[in-house]
Structure 1
Amino acid sequence: MEMKLTKRSVMNNAWKIARNGVKRFGGRASDYIAEAMRIAWRLYLELRAKKGGRIAGIAPWFIKKTFEHPSLVHQIQHESIYKIKKDTEKAYLIEAIATFENGKIEVKNEFWAPKSVCV
């Protein structure tokens, strides 16, 4: 299941997981919501850890607007880890680092992103 990019989506994903439990085992979604919330939160935390620790992702529309080339958008969304270089009240200075060919090539992209598009 793909994790979406807002904390509100963690709850939406939990309800999707609960509804899948209903389809598979029967009952009501509310019977499964506690365990589904644990699963959805664990998925979010795993994604955040994979991406560097403080943020799990950046809204896709913001990355597409900032970096117009499709390969760069894919690289930043899926292959990069995020390192926060500066933190202001409303934005992060993010360094997106992608490593290719067994660590031989490292590509860095630095950009400001509003905290509202980061999760």
Structure 2
Amino acid sequence: MDGGLMLAESLPRTSSFATDRQRGGAAFVERWTNARAGVIGFLTGRGYSSCSIAERIDDRPETVRRMWTLWDLSAYGHDGRAPQVVVPLSQRDRAHLAGAAATAGLTIEAYCEQILVNSIRR
């Protein structure tokens, strides 16, 4: 781990979760359990692509994108094309950032986006 962030290569691959369970004998295995949905939600929030998530949970990218659609993540700002960038900050640093953003009349996210985009373009 680097700075509290997990790299895609360091995440364990898993094809079964502790809560996978058999329904109706061996004829049906319920795969979309809370544990699986939680992993997908966590990795989605960390900005992983559907391909990366599918590889980690041993499923197909189309299935992950379909679940995003069924869960209506677009209502929460997720469109699958512009992932969030997670940057760990102390409470003090976040407070300073919030103050600077408020002074500029922006949200913290918009302020950080401007800083990052401008630094990349230099």
TM-score category, normalised to shorter length: 0.3 to 0.5
Q: Which has the larger radius of gyration?
A: 2
Q: Which has the higher strand share?
A: 1
TM-score, normalised by the number of residues in structure 1: 0.32
